[in-house]
Amino acid sequence: MSIVCEFELNNSIESFEFGKVAKQSNGSVLMKQGRAVILASVVSEFDNPVSEDFTPLTVQYIEKTYASAKFAGGFIKREGKPSDFETLTSRLIDRSLRPLFPSGYVYPTTITVMVLSSDKGVDLQVLALNAASAALYSSDLPIRKSVAGVRIGQIDGNIVVNPTVSQMQESILDLYVAGTASELLMIEMKSISTEEMVEVNIESFTKIHSINDITEDELIKAINIATDSLKISNNTYEEGFESVCKDMVEVELLSTTIEVKIINHVRENYTQNIKEAIKKLAKSERSTALKDVAKLVTADEFSVKEECELRDVNEAVNIVKKELVRSMIIDDKIRADGRGLSEVRPISIDTNILPSAHSSCLFTRGETQALVVGTLGGTKDGQMYELLNEKSARTENFMVHYNFPGFSVGEAKPIFGVSRRELGHGNLAKRALEPSIDNDFTDTVRLVSEILESNGSSSMATVCGGSLALKAAGVPISSLIAGVAMGAIFDKADENGKYAILTDIMGLEDHDGDMDFKVAGTKDGITALQMDIKLGGIELEVLKEALLQAKEGKAHILNIMEEAASEIVPSDALPIITQFEIDPSKIMAVIGKAGSVIKEIIEKFEVGIDLDRDTGGVKVSGEDKQNVDDAVAHIKTISSNAKSFVKRETINFEKLYNLNDILKGKVVRLVDFGAFIELPKGGEGLLHISKVSKQRVSNIHDVLEVGQEIDIKVLKISRDRIELSSANLD
């Protein structure tokens, strides 16, 4: 027997149906909003725990193409490799729900979210998280907290909660927040750039590019509104789902089995050794040093007497190591590498170090190093991709690809396909950098970030190196963008809530800390933000303090970047580009019949040519300056000698013809699917091949020829289009 829970939230009706589908799962729900339908299921294997102390959670968000009544693009018509959007949405759900699992939950768990029916006006990322949370909350897993997602937009200066997809097209802010009724768990944010016409004087205007970076106070205000919305949603869900929740299964949570006296022994006798070990900044060196400490412990008289196993000693060493890292920061205000809490590691920048690349930047901050390489191309070089709710493909003309090889952290592992983490870090860098690029710039840009060393926040090194790579490639950007990773450590035992906020965290602080918080933007504001909270919530005042401290860090990094930008020497490999305009009515002369003229120019001068038929814009690019100049002169000669191609005036067919009129027309063009017929009162109509004869016609040329006069009937008519059939068809 199924149970339906229906709520009205954020001006929309949400329906959750439990007990109807996927009943062999630990929890499942069919969620509906508008025409969108999502199935979410949770399965956990209670009889198959892993031996390591981590939660083996897998989240899959899958879009079915039948959900929008279309076929999958490409040669294969079955859903296959997840799209970037599916992968990023899976990560978003994972990061929002993982904090709910209790410590020591070691049972393999899979959350599957499938889009069965789509709706162009519904935000699928918000819907997917809410559905996944409902399935998890109502399951028999030991979790009784609801998580909801909310998207915040800013339209015409007003904050809008959960705007529709069409409304988001007008927004300058995209803020996604996930949390419980009382705690924020995950935040993603990006600004959206715009072009504005600004009056210079009474007679003229100029176009101004606006990054729309958001200030710290404005962001806190938007997050506060999101928090209020999350509280209402989660309270509504928890109250409404109370009757559908399954009885929780009692499962054993993995807890430390180490005797306290072993931990005390390590703490009392090896603290100094562990302090020396954590000063090793490289992950591989630090790991080796900590293992050496564990070997010392197992070899001493205490361990032999107590028969301590190496595994237990290793865990005891790691427990004491985490205590030391946190106490040094909170109590002594000193970090493992000796820095102050708000201090950024030393930065060095080298630009255009790759002679054959269009641009390159080697950005090094401490032990984190990113080599970001830029490549320019024409509009046709973009990456085509599909969205579920759109019939036609889109083209991505700005790409950021992030690669994280094992050698960057001293690990001996081969390079395989792109991981979810790599895709997510590249997307974060793209969100940070994209608003800085002028909207009028329509060429394709690909940035590839090769992480050569990593000790904390390689994604923010990608942002910094990427911004300089754009500058070095001559891409028009309105401002440099810097990124900085923030962290926080909270003293849970302190009743006053003592905490420390860290600027430019390294890997050790990320691993043993309570918050991972990445901020990117200009000196004035934020263009992108990503936050994951490990301790289960954060106060807005603490968040504001972290944002202001991040602003200081960004400003410091930007000063160094601006100095490096002033010393950029353009790469010899940069293409030579000349842009000019000709009479739009003469564009067809440059193209030629079936593109013959433009193909000849491209082959003869070894250049690339982009044309804008509406404005008459011409862009010629190539590696040889003389060839580019000769191609430009040739195009200008063709256009100056050509006759104007005047566009045919649009005819209003509704005023000239009526349905079922019998007319005599002349065949003017034959195409595979029929013939275009010149009509007696002006204009042309389409006679489809299926409407030519009562018998099936395979080839239009078998029954009609250009210049032939025929009797036709008006079959369908609109203001600017008319469809015909043969008068002899009746």
Using a 10 angstrom Cβ sphere, with 0-12 exposed, 13-18 middle and 19 or more buried, the burial of residue 527 is: buried
User: What is the dihedral sign for C-alpha 233, 239, 245, 247?
Assistant: positive
- Whether residues 580 and 561 fall in one domain: no
Which two three-digit tokens encode residue 115? Answer: 């889009």
Question: 662 CB contacts (<8 Å, ≥6 apart)?
Answer: 711, 712, 713, 727
CA-to-CA separations, 559 to 228, 437, 553, 555, 563, in angstroms, rounded: 38, 20, 10, 6, 6
Q: Is 724 exposed, middle or buried (0-12, 13-18, 19+ CB in 10 A)?
A: buried
What's the pLDDT tens digit per position in 316-350? 888 899 889 898 899 888 888 889 999 999 999 99
Q: What does the block give as tokens for 566?
A: 């002033």
Report the pLDDT averaged over residues 102-130: 95
Q: In the chain, what's the furthest Cα-to-Cα distance?
A: 110
In 138-215, where does DSSP find H-type helix?
A: 165-168
Which of 565, 599, 633 corresponds to the end of one domain?
Answer: 565
Apex 425 CA angle, 422 and 428, nearest 5:
150
Dihedral Cα 309, 313, 319, 324, nearest 10 deg: 170
The predicted pLDDT at position 647 comes to 44
For the chain, the first-to-last Cα distance in angstroms comes to 56
Q: Does residue 571 belong to any structural domain of this protein?
A: no
Regarding whether 25 and 174 lie in a shared domain, the answer is yes
The verdict on 277 and 407 lying in the same domain is no
**Separation in Å, CA 102 to CA 41, 235, 315, 326, 594:** 19, 21, 20, 22, 66
Structure tokens that stand for 406 in this block: 């094992």
Secondary structure (3-state) at 315: helix
Q: Is the pLDDT of residue 566 over 50?
A: yes
pLDDT given at position 649: 47
Residue 342 lies in a domain: no
Instruction: Give the integer Cα–Cα distance in Å for 329 and 621.
Output: 55
Number of other residues whose CB lies within 10 A of the CB of residue 88: 19
Q: Is residue 647 part of a domain?
A: no
C-beta separation of 568 from 374 below 8 A = no
Q: How far apart are CA 261 and CA 371, in angstroms?
A: 48
pLDDT (mean) for 129-143: 97
| Strands 662-671, 27-33: pairing kind | unpaired
Q: Which secondary-structure segment (H or E) carries 112? A: strand 109-117
319 in a domain, yes or no? yes
Give 3's strand partners. 18
pLDDT attached to residue 568: 94
What is the C-alpha separation between 689 and 348, in angstroms, rounded? Answer: 68
**214: helix, coil or strand?**
strand
Q: Exposure of 676 by Cβ count < 10 A (0-12 exposed, 13-18 middle, 19+ buried)?
A: middle
* Averaged pLDDT for residues 699-706: 86
Given a cut of 50, whether residue 447 has pLDDT beyond it is: yes
Calculate the alpha carbon distances from 98 to 67, 147, 179 in Å: 28, 11, 11
Cβ atoms 460, 530 nearer than 8 A: no
CB neighbour list of residue 62: distance below 8 Å, 6 or more residues apart: 79, 82, 86, 112, 113, 114, 115
Tens digits of residue pLDDT in 497-508: 788 999 999 988
pLDDT digits (tens, 9 = 90+) for 272-302: 888 888 887 777 788 888 888 888 888 887 7
Residue 338 resides in a domain: no
Q: Could you tell me which of 553, 374, 342 has the C-alpha nearest to residue 462?
A: 374
**Domain C-terminal end among 595, 610, 641:** 641
CA distance 718 to 686: 12
Whether 309 and 183 share a structural domain: no
Nearest to 515 by CA among 491, 544, 482, 537: 537
Strands (E) located in 253-393:
347-351, 359-365, 368-377, 383-385
CA distances from 488 to 91, 121, 180, 503 (A): 22, 38, 20, 9
Question: For the domain that residue 599 is a member of, what is the CATH number?
Answer: 3.30.1370.10
> How far apart are alpha carbons 84 and 70 in whole angstroms?
19
CATH number of the domain that residue 27 is part of: 3.30.230.70
Say if residue 357 is in the same domain as residue 317: no
Q: What percent of the chain has pLDDT over 70?
A: 95
Could you give the CA distance from residue 474 to residue 359 in angstroms, rounded to a whole number?
Answer: 9
Greatest mean pLDDT among 441-450, 582-591, 693-702 lies in: 441-450
Residue 341, in any domain of the structure: no
Residues 559 and 588 in one domain: no
pLDDT of residue 537: 64
Mean pLDDT estimate for the chain? 89
CA distance 286 to 456: 14
Rounded Cα distance, 720 and 144, in Å? 60
Answer whether residue 126 shows pLDDT above 50: yes
Does residue 550 share a domain with residue 420? Answer: yes
- Pairing state between β 662-671 and 194-199: unpaired
Give the pTM: 0.82
Asked whether residue 132 carries a pLDDT value surpassing 50, the answer given is yes
Count of C-beta atoms within a 10 Å radius of residue 314: 18
The encoded tokens of residue 350 equal: 């080298």
Q: Which of 244, 279, 303 is the last residue of a domain?
A: 244
The pLDDT tens digits of the residues spanning 626-637 come to: 898 889 988 988
67 and 44 in one domain? yes
pLDDT higher at 515 or 437: 437
Q: Which domain holds residue 721?
A: 653-729
- Looking at the fold, whether 389 and 525 belong to one and the same domain comes out as yes
Supply the pLDDT for residue 686.
Answer: 86
Neighbours of 103 (CB within 10 A): 9
The structure tokens listed for 81 are 């490799």
- HSE-up of 628 (CA within 13 Å, CB side)? 17
What pLDDT score does 719 carry? 62
- Confirm whether 339 is domain-assigned: no
pLDDT for residue 312:
81
pLDDT winner (highest mean) among 202-216, 231-245, 506-520: 231-245
- Which pLDDT score, from 0 to 100, does residue 648 have? 42
Cβ partners under 8 Å of residue 167, min gap 6: 153, 155, 160
- CB 317 within 8 Å of CB 290: yes
| CA 36 to mean position of chain CA atoms | 22
Indicate if the pLDDT at residue 565 is higher than 90: yes
Tokens 């959900």, located at residue: 67
DSSP designation for 585: G
> Is 200 buried (19+), middle (13-18) or exposed (0-12) by CB count in 10 A?
exposed
Instruction: Determine the average pLDDT of the residues in 466-492.
Output: 94
Residue 250 lies in a domain: no
Residues 173, 181: Cα–Cα separation, whole Å: 23
Res. 202: pLDDT tops 80: no
How far apart, in whole angstroms, are the C-alpha atoms of residue 624 and residue 576?
7
Residue listed under structure tokens 């229906």: 6
CA atoms within 13 A on the CB side of 666: 8
Q: Let me know whether 431 and 537 are in one domain.
A: yes
> Are residues 560 and 597 located together in one domain of the fold?
no
Q: Which long-range contacts (CB under 8 A, 24 or more apart) does 676-683 make?
A: 677/710, 677/712, 677/724, 679/722, 681/656, 681/657, 682/651, 682/656, 683/651, 683/653, 683/656, 683/722
Q: What is d(CA 522, CA 482) in angstroms, rounded to the nearest whole number?
A: 7
Considering only residues 36 and 615, tell me which one the structure prediction assigns the higher pLDDT.
36
Number of domains in the chain: 5
Q: What is the rounded average pLDDT of the residues 569-581?
A: 88
Rounded to the nearest angstrom, the gap between the alpha carbon of residue 448 and the centroid of all alpha carbons in its chain is: 15
Q: Look at 44-53, 131-140, 670-679 and tell me which has the smallest mean pLDDT.
A: 670-679
User: What strands lie across the sheet with 576-581, from one edge to the other?
Assistant: 576-581, 617-622, 608-612
Provide the pLDDT for residue 646.
Answer: 43
Q: Identify whether residues 603 and 658 lie together within a single domain.
A: no
Higher-pLDDT residue of 188 and 612 is 188
- Where is pLDDT greater, at 262 or 154? 154
What confidence category does residue 58 fall into, taking pLDDT thresholds of 50, 70 and 90?
Answer: very high
What tens digit of pLDDT does each residue of 510-561 get? Answer: 888 888 889 999 999 999 999 987 766 677 888 899 999 999 999 999 999 9
Encode pLDDT of 636-675 as tens digits: 888 887 655 444 445 677 778 888 889 999 998 887 778 8
Q: What is the pLDDT of residue 497?
A: 74
Among candidate residues 637, 594, 645, 593, the one with its CA nearest the CA of residue 618? 637
Q: Per-residue pLDDT for 197 more than 70?
A: no
What are the φ and ψ backbone dihedral angles of 637, each rounded to 5 degrees?
-65, -45
The residue written with tokens 């899979």 in the block is 110
